[in-house]
Structure 1
Amino acid sequence: MPAKFAEGESKDVAVLDFAPFRTGSRIAAMTFSQKLRFEWFSNIRGDLLAGLVVALALIPEAIAFSIIAGVDPKVGLYASFCIAVVIAFTGGRPGMISAATGAMALLMVTLVREHGLEYLLAATVLCGVLQIAAGYLKLGSLMRFVSRSVVTGFVNALAILIFMAQLPELTGVTWHVYAMTAAGLGIIYLFPYVPVVGKAIPSPLVCILTLTAVALLLGLDIRSVADMGELPDTLPVFLWPDVALTLETLLIILPYSAALAVVGLLESMMTATIVDDLTDTCSDKNRECKGQGIANIGAGLMGGMAGCAMIGQSVINVKSGGRTRLSCLTAGVVLLLMVVFLSDWVGLIPMAALVAVMIMVSIGTFSWDSLRNLKQHPLSTNIVMLATVVVTVGTHNLAYGVFVGVLLAAMFFANKMAHYLHIGSELDAGGRQRSYRVVGQVFFSSADKFVAAFDFKEALDKVVIDLGRAHFWDITAVAALDKVVIKFRREGTAVEILGMNQASATIVDRFGVHDKPQAIDQLMGH
């Protein structure tokens, strides 16, 4: 089954057989050389060109995120280089781009302001250790609890945030900037239709090169990459954070490291899910957790800040034809070469060109189907999606948005499952025995409904409760059963329970009290 392609994407660039990624057994059956070729060298031209485009897009983002965190621009640039290179080898999602990100930068502000850069580097290393631990604990598997509506809300929120991040570059500027941005968008969307070359060269790369040439030829006085901050002129070097290895230091950095680890993994797992959908492949989420951890340890030891997967750059990579690990490696290596050895040329790139690329990413990332499907989808699904968007955009914190979305999805699911409980009854011919038949799920959300279905004031000699088609899930359900049995017995009615399945019987035997005389005596005050 071929990979899926976004609208306007060059299929000639990335015609690959992704079927092995859909089943781990097929990858495991590959020889080392087959796996090496498949994950690295099956799409060389597409990956090299896509990596070049991503590297150009990473530069202003890394500088901006460094400014947000309150550190020198080289901290973000070194981090982006190191994380991109390391994750290319250790990550579980080929074709996904990881680097310094805004979500992580926002969590660093207080630590940098109060304790300085060295503590940030130490926190970055500890963040990596925690993420590796999460990978070994297989926490990446928790993504199965994130519903499709939450993922859609996450995607839409990211698209909005990416677009909003471009607004400062379009506010209070001359008409030349608007003209250049519009021209950039025209190139991005129209160049793929140019015969022969249109499908051989990524249109975002053409946009950046063309607008840079135009700005130089016309001598336009518009904002460029050089105006974002000073680019480093030396290669990063290995250094151990200059902090005391004491319990006091650990207590200072641990809260920040834990927050960075959680947000970084959450954003990376969500981004991996999105790239899975874009390329119609699957990824190893637990390996990605470990890979992110190793990359962050490397970043901290090379003077960089913590980072994670980037949805915007990952979408740029996919739409530019990047598919394998080579694209991520190329992005990291080219980024370092450009900022260290070609900084004078890179500084000439007009921000309008990069704004056009990011607007393209925003438009392509947003799930327009989610708007068209608002009338068709259930109200609960729409509420979860919209709540995720509103909280994420309102707080600029992806973790908060996803947490609210997952919480609402769980609540709606529990409420829906509570409705799948039916309790019927019939009275025997003598009028002295009633049989209740329970069908459905009994848990914390349906426990009250379960208890309310029984008539405790009816004069009976015996009550039979048939649980053959019911299941008890938690101690709240067990407590509800205890309540029903004990209430009937207080009225002098004998109770017989039939048909309980083994799983329900296990939890009832362990936590129930209706069949334990001593526990009942204590409850009744005897």
Structure 2
Amino acid sequence: MNSQTFARYRTEWFDGVGNARRDILAGMVGTFALIPEVIAFSFVAGIDPEVGLFASFAIGIVIAFAGGRPAMISGAAGSVALVAAALVHSHGLQYLLAATLLAGLFQIAFGLMKLNVLMRFVSRSVRTGFVNALAILIFSAQVPQMLNVTWHTYAMIAAGLGLIYLTPKVTNAIPSPLICVMALTAISMCFPMPIHTVADLGQLPASLPAFALPAVPYALQTLVIVAPYALAMAAVGLLESMMTASVVDDLTDTNSSKAQECTGLGLANLAAGLFGGIAGCGMIGQTVGNVRYGGRGRLSTLVAGVFLLLVMVPLRPWIAQVPVAALVAIMIMVSISTFSWASLRDLARHPKVSGAVMLATVAVTVATHDLSMGVGVGVLLSGVFFAFKVTRLMQVRSEYCEDTDTRTYVVLGQIFFASADIFVDQFDLGDTARSVRIDLSAAHLWDVTAVGALEDLVTRMRRHGTAVEVVGMNEASAILVDRHAPLLGNSA
């Protein structure tokens, strides 16, 4: 590690006493926001809550040191849980732990191969749709906690929201969500009422996680069973973590190392699997809450993991009495702050294509409850719309010289699989000119489809007795032609 890297790493950990205090308090808020979601997604995956909580503890500790995005909170998240559910149902928990270890190895390999560059294909419209969809999912996940309950629950939620939004007007010394948790817990203990507590969400761990290898046969058959699930978990986890890291980059006006985040997440999931936990990834709701309440460094991530361990074991009797209404109030606040309200205004100002991509990402994500599916559809639509836009920019101009009986076609723009047919249609194959000159000085051939279209065009013209000359190819286009249509290149 060179001196510059060391200085940056030290700054990410500790950059002033005030920052350290904010990181510690914001990390504690992140823990309280993490607990209900981890427990809920553990049920989705078909595992005990302690499996998700153990995973979140291990992931939080490791990612604080090895991750590439300071202030990002990672844990057992919903998208990975959806993938894991089928494996747990068919083969049990131990096979899930084996898949978690393999997913970690896949992610380390992806990071070393710099596959994070694929994030460049995710447009801002897709990222905005991702954030908005997640805000909607975070809010909808709170709805079951508000159904079939007494009025006391609604009163506590309202009181919690009042504390969260009004306390900062008085003081910012302690994050208002933390005040909300402490105040509502004190009220419920002093004045017993029929409301749900954290203890009602599921059994909290009674002991520390223990190191152990998955109890599965170490044979090729086991690898065949877990590999597809591990690959899916690795891909979904990386996608969600990369998207979360990009959101934090935008919120904090800083950059992060996506490749390091890939390898860091892989190491974190290895630790999770070895300590009896499910694979996880970046959790955008908790991360946004952490950032909103002052978390900026790696210390906030570490505190979220360490405090979760304290919550799980030593503080278990007290945490079990925290009203679910307090957690619901925090998550409602997170969903409101996560949603990009400016994007609604931008629908009227920005190009309709961008708005369509954003809305499609939101619709698919909310409909499927699968963030990776929504992002995939958004990226696909972005690619299709871009291809159509580039296709419209491709033009072919025709000029005829009577003295030499030569027609010159000047091609402008990009020729690739989406524009190849339009390119061919611009030529008059019935032209009686003695010779044809195709000028590619202002054009570029991008792929084999483009080269094939040009080769077929020249061949058909020559078959009609027309002398054809291709000129002006840039170096990259010429190399592509020499490789896939050498006769065309030699005749140009």
TM range (shorter): over 0.9
Deviates further, 180-189 or 271-280: 180-189
Is residue 370 of structure 2 the alignment partner of residue 397 of structure 1? yes
Counterpart of 1:50 in structure 2 is 26
Q: Which TM-score applies when normalising by structure 1?
A: 0.91
Residue 146 of structure 2: which of 137, 161, 170 is its match?
170
Amino acid at match of 1:397: D
Letter in 1 for 2:386: F
What residue identity is the alignment partner of 1:123? A
Partner of 1:479: 452
- 2:94 is matched with 118
Partner residue, 1:149: 125
Deviation at 1:171, TM superposition (A): 1.0
The CA distance in 1 between the partners of 2:371 and 2:8, in whole Å, is 34
| Percent identical residues | 58
Q: Find out whether 1:383 has 2:356 as its counterpart.
A: yes
Query: 375, 385, 389: which is aligned to 1:412?
Result: 385
Verify: 1:159 aligned to 2:135, yes or no. Answer: yes
Deviation track 1:140-167 (CA, whole Å, cap 9, x = no partner) reads: 1211111001101111110010011000
Question: Is 1:468 aligned with 2:441?
Answer: yes
- State the distance in 1 between where 2:31 and 2:76 align: 12
**Matches of 2:485 and 2:383, distance apart in 1:** 26
1:332 paired with 2:305, answer yes
- Residue pair 1:83, 1:307 contacting (<8 A) in 2 also: yes
TM-score (norm 2): 0.97
| Cα contact 2:27–2:304 (8 A) shared by 1 | yes
CA distance in 2, matches of 1:112, 1:423: 58
Task: Check if 1:139 corresponds to 2:115.
Answer: yes
CA distance in 2, matches of 1:243, 1:464: 68
1:200 Cα deviation after fit: 1.5
Measured against aligned partners, the alpha-carbon deviations of 1:437-481 in whole angstroms (never above 9, x if no partner) come to 111111111111111111111211111111111111111111111
Structure 2: runs of 5+ lacking an equivalent: none
Matches of 1:302 and 1:31 in 2, distance apart? 31
Return the match for 1:454 from 427, 430, 440: 427
User: Whole-Å Cα distance in 1 between the matches of residues 76 and 451 of structure 2?
Assistant: 49
- Amino acid in structure 2 at the alignment position of 1:468: S
How far does the alpha carbon of each residue in 1:52-94 deviate from its partner, in whole angstroms, 9 at most, with x for none?
1112222222221211111111111111101001100000000
1:482–1:513 CA contact under 8 A, matched in 2? no
CA positional deviation for 1:423: 1.0
8 Å contact 2:98–2:273 — kept in the other structure? yes
Cα deviation 1:255-293 (Å, max 9, x = unaligned): 110110000000000000001111111100000000000
Q: Counterpart of 2:348 in 1: which secondary structure?
A: coil
Q: Select which of 201, 212, 221 maps to 1:248.
A: 221
CA shift for structure 1 position 513: 5.8
Matching of residue 30 in structure 1 with residue 30 in structure 2: no
Corresponding residue for residue 210 of structure 2: 237
The equivalent residue for 2:61 is 85
Contact 1:485 1:514 in 2 (8 A): no
- Give the SS at the match of 1:419: helix
Contiguous gaps of at least 5 residues in structure 1: 1-26, 519-526
* Secondary structure in 2 matching 1:89: helix
- Matched to 1:93, the amino acid is R
The residue identity in structure 1 corresponding to 2:100 is T
Task: Give the counterpart letter for 1:303 in structure 2.
Answer: G
Structure 1 residue identity aligned to 2:84: M
Which of 245, 267, 272 aligns to 1:299? It is 272
Q: Partner of 2:315 in structure 1?
A: 342
Aligned position for 1:280: 253
Farther off after superposition, 289-298 or 443-452: 443-452
Could you tell me whether the CA contact under 8 Å between 2:481 and 2:489 is conserved in 1? no
Q: 2:40 is matched with which residue? A: 64
**For each residue in 1:212-237, what CA deviation from the matched residue of structure 2 results, as whole angstroms up to 9, or x when unmatched?**
11122221210110101111111111
Mapped to 1, the partners of 2:316 and 2:401 lie a distance apart of: 90
Aligned residue pairs: how many?
A: 488
C-alpha contact 1:421 1:440 (8 A) present in aligned 2: yes
Give the C-alpha shift of residue 172 in structure 1: 1.4
Structure 2: how far apart are the matches of 1:100 and 1:85?
13
Contact 1:130 1:258 survives alignment (8 Å): yes
State the partner residue of 1:438: 411
Q: Give CA deviations for 1:323-345 in whole Å, capped at 9, x if unaligned.
A: 11111111111111121011110
8 A contact 1:96–1:275 mirrored in 2: yes
**How far, CA to CA, are the matches of 1:53 and 1:230 in structure 2?**
21
The 1-side partners of 2:462 and 2:118 are apart by 44
2:466 is equivalent to residue 493 of structure 1? yes
User: Counterpart of 2:477?
Assistant: 504
Whole-Å separation in 1 of the counterparts to 2:423 and 2:35:
60
User: What RMSD, in angstroms, separates the aligned Cα atoms of the two structures?
Assistant: 1.5
Distance, in Å, in 1 between the alignment partners of 2:489 and 2:470 is 14
Q: 1:180 to 1:256 in 2, by over 3 A?
A: same
Runs of 4+ in 1 over 6 A off after TM superposition: none
User: What are the superposed Cα offsets for residues 377-435 of structure 1, whole Å, 9 maximum, x if unpaired?
Assistant: 11211111111111111111111111111111001101100111111111113372111
Deviations 1:471-518 (A, max 9, x none): 111111111111221121111110111111111111111112653899
**Equivalent position amino acid for 1:343 in 2:** R
In structure 2, distance between residues paired with 1:476 and 1:508: 11
